[in-house]
Every structure is written in structure tokens, then in C-alpha cells.
């Protein structure tokens, strides 16, 4: 009996230890996975021949099976493939991870998919994270992101950014609904919201449905053709009334203002046409919303013009003729740069004051610096990384002052504008 009792106690102890050890894994959630203040480790275990094939045929969208592991959680038979446009390459492939590719209904922390961004076009590794955080900071929907060291078959494959997919879960979180039609925009040519004719194929080429994929082309794309045609044909006096059927011009100009504040040249008002966004058409509605995506570039120059391509896109070209929207745009620009330059609230006691954007740069830099140094396939050497981060620090200090001066030139008399510009210049000198 005594021996049996000891055996029973031992068995119960083993069970108890097992249960306690498994609690943290079960308690993890999506918020933990996208915790941007933590450097994560993500493991993918797959056939080495498949990994070599993915890298060799990096231009293809071929899926390969892999087992995903994070913090003791393992999901078997997920699908991974190469992804990206300008960032796509075989040395350090950007990856899309589809949890349910081979097992219908399979989820990881409730997620159907996520992206592992390779930051191939950004030697600082910071631009994507900073952009999305600024969008969120000013109340705009944007994907959650976090840094991760990616290991393939237990071998370090480099520093990546985990990016939340724009999907039904994203739509539910941001809009409280998800049964509308979600499109990913495909950059194919220089398109600036001009009408492409009645044929639906050009619109189908530009907009890939991510929900309602089996709906008839007439249901998917005719509303886009109609929206573009009616907005481009509207005269200036009635443009805002016509546009309001399909878009919130305030949302469009807020989107444009954030990207202008960050000197983004490859976004909604891109140098080569519209790029890097999703579009959501709400349930049982003709109303749409643009959603930011893939922001590895930007922060291009402190003196990047505030009106860059405003007169080239058919939406903003018409709308800016209305003084209300013109004022709205410049006022939003000021709000955005003021938010960028507010003193960060969580600085250590006794630390030199830093703006929110400067603080975000430093936190991320300290988090990833060692991982970048050991990244075997980073897009630059460490000198290039350090130089790119220093350029962002300068941008964070100087861009808000430039924007305030330029907005003053638009909104104020020349004398008052000179006063504002002089004050901004003096504040910059005092920081140095």
C-alpha cells in the first residue's frame, strides 16, 4: 500500500508539472504573438529540398509544407510560399504563412495566416514598423507587427517582421464586420484612379479579391468600374457629393497626410502610381475604405514635398480644389507631425526628452541590433544598418519642423509664415 501510495503521488506530481508547464503555452494569444516590445523566435521545420526549391524558384507562388513552432506551440503542416514585389528574392525570401493551406480550419492562435517580411528594401529594418505604429497612433487601421528571429530547421535564417494579415479577422477587429469584399491591389502599371473603360478585366487585373473569391466578375468588379467612372467624370462642383457615395474623402486625405508626413513615395500617391494598399467594400454597400500595406520604403527625405502627387491622382486632384478638403489635408498633416513629435511618455527617469518617433526608433534599434548583426543574409552590412538608423533619427527630428514651416506658407500670411519657419529653425538649432 505504501509503495502504491508513493507511486500514486509520483504520478500525480508528473501530471501536475505537465499541466503547469503547458499553461503558458495555452495562455498565449494573438496579442502576445504581435507584441512589438519583444524579440520573438519563430521556427519552421521543413524538408531541406523544399526550402532550397523555394529559394531557387522565389518568383513562383508555390506552397511548401512546414511545421510552425513559437513559444512551445507547434502547428503541423502549414503552407509557406515566397512573397513580395520589389522585396522578393531568393537570398532572404519574404514568406507568407498559411495555417490552413493543407488542413482546412486549422488555426494558430486563431490566425489563418501571417506574413514574415524580410525588410529587403529597408537596411534600417524599422520603416515598416514605424509606419504602422504611426497609422495606429492617429487612429487609422493598420496591421499589427513584431520582430522575430526566424529559424529554418534550427538554423538562423535572419531577422524578420511578423505582419498581421489583412483578412476577415483584421476587418472584424477594425470595423466590427467582415463579410464585405476585400481586395489586394496589384501594382502592374502607373494607375492613378483613372477610368479604364467598361471592360472589367483591367480592374480584375488590379484588384485581387481576398474574400468572395468565387463571386461573379460583374458583382466583384462592376462596382469598382462604376465608382472610378463616376468619380472621374464628376465636375469639380459636385465631385465631393459623387465621391461620398463610394469613399470618405476625409479618410483618403488622412491616409495621404500620414504618408506625406513620412515622405512616402510608393503609397497611395506613389511616384509610379497607386501602390501598397488593400481596399475593403463594406457589407451590402458600395462604400469603400483604403487600408495601408507593405511600407518598407518611405522616410525618403526631410524636405520631401507635402503636395507630392496630390494633383496627379484623380481622387485628390479633384477634391483638393475644394477649400474644405485642402484645409483638411494640411490640418491633418500638422496633427500627424505633432503626434510624431510629442514627448514620449515612457522615458526612463532622468533621460533626455525624446519625441514619440525618436523613442520608437531607439526602442526598436536596441531590440534588433544584435539580431541584425548576426543575420546571415541581411540586405546590407552593419555600417549600412547603423547609417540607415541614423538617417531615421535625423528625419524624426527635422521632418516635423519642415512640415510646420511648409504648412504655414500655405495657410498664413508671408510675414506670419516667416515667423513660424524661423521659430522652427531656431528650435532645431537648440536641439543640436
Residue 19 has pLDDT above 70, yes or no: no
Indicate whether this model's pTM tops 0.75: yes
For the stretch 292-324, pLDDT in tens is 999 999 999 999 999 999 999 999 999 999 999
Residue 389 has pLDDT above 70, yes or no: yes
Give the whole-angstrom CA distance, residue 82 versus residue 321: 43
Share of the chain above pLDDT 90, in %: 88
202 with 224: CB under 8 angstroms? no
What is the chain's mean pLDDT, rounded? 93
Distances (CA, A) of 324 to 243, 268, 275: 14, 21, 26
Question: Which residue pairs from 355-361 have beta carbons closer than 8 angstroms and sit at least 24 positions apart in sequence?
Answer: 355/396, 355/397, 355/400, 356/137, 357/130, 357/134, 357/396, 358/393, 358/396, 358/397, 360/129, 360/130, 360/133, 361/126, 361/130, 361/389, 361/392, 361/393, 361/396
Per-residue confidence (pLDDT) for residue 12, from 0 to 100: 40
Residue 262 has pLDDT above 90, yes or no: yes
Strands 39-45, 145-152: parallel, antiparallel or unpaired by DSSP? parallel
Angle at 172 between CA 167 and CA 30, to 5 degrees: 75
Per-residue confidence (pLDDT) for residue 241, from 0 to 100: 97
Neighbours of 49 (CB within 10 A): 9
Per-residue confidence (pLDDT) for residue 107, from 0 to 100: 97
DSSP string computed for 20-74: HHHHHHHH--HHHHT-TTSEEEEEEE--HHHHHHHHHTTTS---EEEEEEETTEE
Residue 373 has pLDDT above 70, yes or no: yes
Residue 6 has pLDDT above 60, yes or no: no
417 or 348, greater pLDDT: 417
Domain boundaries of the chain, sorted by first residue: 27-164, 176-339, 341-431
What stretches of 286-385 adopt beta strand conformation (E)?
A: 288-292
Query: Residue 5 — very low, low, confident or very high, per pLDDT cuts 50/70/90?
Result: very low
Give the whole-angstrom CA distance, residue 280 versus residue 138: 20
Q: Of 153-162, 171-180, 348-357, which range is least confident?
A: 348-357
Query: Residue 4 — very low, low, confident or very high, per pLDDT cuts 50/70/90?
Result: very low
Query: Residue 432 — very low, low, confident or very high, per pLDDT cuts 50/70/90?
Result: low
The mean pLDDT of 17-23, rounded to a whole number, is 35
Per-residue confidence (pLDDT) for residue 429, from 0 to 100: 66
Amino acid at each position: 500500500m505504501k509503495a502504491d501510495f508513493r507511486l500514486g503521488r509520483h504520478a500525480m506530481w508528473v501530471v501536475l508539472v505537465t499541466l503547469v508547464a503547458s499553461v503558458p503555452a495555452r495562455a498565449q494569444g494573438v496579442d502576445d504573438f504581435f507584441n512589438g516590445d519583444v524579440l520573438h523566435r519563430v521556427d519552421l521545420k521543413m524538408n531541406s529540398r523544399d526550402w532550397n526549391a523555394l529559394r531557387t524558384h522565389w518568383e513562383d507562388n508555390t506552397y511548401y509544407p512546414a511545421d510552425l513552432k513559437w513559444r512551445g506551440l507547434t502547428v503541423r503542416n502549414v503552407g509557406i510560399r515566397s512573397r513580395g514585389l520589389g522585396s522578393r528574392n531568393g537570398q532572404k525570401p519574404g514568406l507568407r504563412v498559411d495555417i490552413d493551406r493543407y488542413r482546412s480550419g486549422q488555426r494558430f492562435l486563431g490566425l489563418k495566416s501571417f506574413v514574415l517580411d524580410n525588410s529587403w528594401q529597408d537596411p534600417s529594418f524599422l520603416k515598416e514598423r514605424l509606419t504602422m505604429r504611426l497609422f495606429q497612433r492617429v487612429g487609422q487601421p493598420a496591421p499589427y507587427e513584431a520582430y522575430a528571429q526566424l529559424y529554418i530547421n534550427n538554423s538562423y535564417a535572419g531577422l524578420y517582421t511578423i505582419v498581421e494579415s489583412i483578412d476577415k479577422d483584421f476587418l472584424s477587429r477594425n470595423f466590427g464586420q467582415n463579410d464585405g469584399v476585400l481586395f489586394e491591389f496589384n501594382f502592374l502599371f502607373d494607375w492613378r484612379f483613372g477610368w479604364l473603360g467598361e471592360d472589367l478585366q483591367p480592374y480584375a487585373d488590379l484588384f485581387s479579391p481576398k474574400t468572395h473569391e468565387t463571386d461573379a466578375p460583374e458583382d466583384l468588379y462592376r462596382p469598382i468600374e462604376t465608382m472610378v467612372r463616376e468619380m472621374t467624370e464628376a465636375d469639380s462642383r459636385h465631385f465631393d457629393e459623387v465621391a461620398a457615395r463610394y469613399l470618405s474623402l476625409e479618410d483618403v486625405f488622412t491616409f495621404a497626410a500620414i504618408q506625406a508626413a513620412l515622405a512616402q513615395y510608393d503609397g497611395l500617391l506613389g511616384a509610379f502610381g497607386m501602390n501598397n494598399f488593400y481596399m475593403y467594400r463594406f457589407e451590402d454597400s458600395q462604400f469603400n475604405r483604403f487600408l495601408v500595406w507593405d511600407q518598407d520604403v518611405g522616410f525618403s527625405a526631410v524636405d520631401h514635398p507635402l503636395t507630392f502627387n496630390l494633383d496627379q491622382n484623380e481622387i485628390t486632384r479633384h477634391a483638393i480644389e475644394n477649400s474644405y478638403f485642402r484645409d483638411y489635408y494640411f490640418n491633418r498633416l500638422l496633427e500627424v507631425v505633432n503626434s510624431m513629435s510629442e514627448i514620449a511618455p515612457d522615458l526612463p527617469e532622468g533621460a533626455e526628452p525624446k519625441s514619440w518617433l525618436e523613442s520608437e526608433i531607439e526602442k526598436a534599434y536596441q531590440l534588433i541590433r544584435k539580431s541584425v548583426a548576426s543575420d546571415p543574409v541581411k540586405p546590407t552590412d552593419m555600417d549600412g544598418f547603423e547609417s540607415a538608423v541614423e538617417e531615421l533619427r535625423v528625419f524624426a527630428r527635422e521632418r516635423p519642423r519642415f512640415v510646420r514651416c511648409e504648412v504655414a506658407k500655405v495657410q498664413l500670411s508671408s510675414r506670419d509664415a516667416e515667423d513660424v519657419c524661423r521659430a522652427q529653425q531656431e528650435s532645431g538649432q537648440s536641439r543640436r
